[in-house]
Amino acid sequence: MELNGVNPIGQEHELPRPFRNSRLRRGVYILPSAFTVANMLCGYYAILATLEGRIQDFEHAAAAIGLAYVFDSMDGRIARWMGTESDFGREFDSLADIVSFGLAPASLAYAWGIRALAAPNAPEALHLTQLGWLVGFIFVASCAWRLARFNIQGMAPGGNKYFVGMPTPAAAGMLAATVYYFHGVPIQDIRVSLLWLALMVALSVLMSSTLRFFSFKDIPWTRKQPSLAVIFLGVLLASLVYFSHIMLFIITACYTLHGPIMQVFRHFRLRSRPA
């Protein structure tokens, strides 16, 4: 008979290996969760900066949403590389994404594109303000819908090459990159403000749709690549450093448009096939 890991003659009994490594495994799970917390912290900061309402605060909020995208792309990869994927991690990541890519960009979009214009003309812009509230809620609800569907269905059938529907970080990145491109200067024209709301509705529809978007998860980063690929990557990184405002806007706009464009080409290709 043994009690508390000690045998009857007083010698310590070696504990089972899973129990001995439990502390180590709990420590390993901290690393991907730390990136998820950093992601959520960026979203929280973006909301607080948006509440300040100054031009530089809008730009800082947009940059924080972009930084949240970086942390969000790292936590999943680190979990896969370390073999620490779990149901808790996936749910925690989704909750963080609602803050960083749902509430934060919706708040920024409303404050930058609606509130700054409606404040000096409150009586005349009452309907615009109400419409802004509604569109912002549609964006947040579509973000939650997209995350819940992804947790259940996962990637598109056939591997990890495509997402089903526009990813929520990409939709949030489109809004944040637009604000960042204009250096945080708010919209001052009601016609432009209506176009801004139309963009938010379009992004909400893309998130809720079944259009396919490239995931870039099938890129063989660990394999040898042509020299031109390294040169292209270097030029792209240099452009992001020196021309970050315009480059981030172009990249996010191209990613937003490529899903509908691919669907159009896919539709005509299927129609051109013989019956």
Q: What is the torsional sign of CA 215, 220, 221, 226? A: negative
Structure tokens at 133: 């509230």
- Give the Cα separation of 123 and 144 in Å (integer): 33
Averaged confidence pLDDT in the chain: 84
> Tens digit of pLDDT for each residue in 78-101?
877 777 777 787 888 899 999 999
- Residue 6: phi and psi, rounded to 5, are -120, 130
| Secondary structure (DSSP) of 213-234 | EE--TT--TTS---HHHHHHHH
Give Cα separations from 234 to 6, 37, 231, 240 (angstroms).
61, 30, 5, 10
Q: What is the torsional sign of CA 138, 142, 143, 144? A: positive
User: Domain map of the chain by residue range?
Assistant: 20-272
Which residues, 6 or more positions from 169, have their beta carbon under 8 angstroms from its beta carbon? 68, 69, 72, 73, 97, 100, 101
Specify the pLDDT at position 271: 74
- Checking if the pLDDT of 247 tops 80, the result is yes
User: For 170, left (φ over 0), alpha (ψ -120 to 50), or beta?
Assistant: alpha
Q: Among 24-28, 66-70, 126-130, 175-179, which stretch is predicted with the lowest mean pLDDT?
A: 24-28
- Checking if the pLDDT of 205 tops 60, the result is yes
Task: Tell me if residue 141 falls in helix, strand or coil.
Answer: helix
Q: What is the four-CA torsion angle of 265, 270, 272, 274, rounded to 10 degrees? A: 170
Task: Let me know: does 27 contact 20? Beta carbons within 8 Å.
Answer: no
Residue type, 8: P
pTM above 0.85, yes or no: no
Superfamily of segment(s) 20-272: CDP-alcohol phosphotransferase transmembrane (TM) domain (1.20.120.1760)
> Tens digit of pLDDT for each residue in 21-70?
444 444 446 788 889 999 999 999 999 999 998 999 999 999 999 999 99
* Short-list 273, 91, 111, CA closest to 185: 111
> Which ranges of 14-125 does DSSP label H, i.e. alpha helix?
17-20, 22-52, 55-82, 87-98, 104-110, 116-118
- Give the Cα separation of 143 and 205 in Å (integer): 10
Give Cα separations from 235 to 69, 228, 230, 244, 258 (angstroms).
21, 10, 9, 13, 22
> Tens digit of pLDDT for each residue in 212-221?
998 887 676 6
* Short-list 105, 101, 113, 104, CA closest to 145: 101
Specify the pLDDT at position 2: 45
Specify the pLDDT at position 21: 47
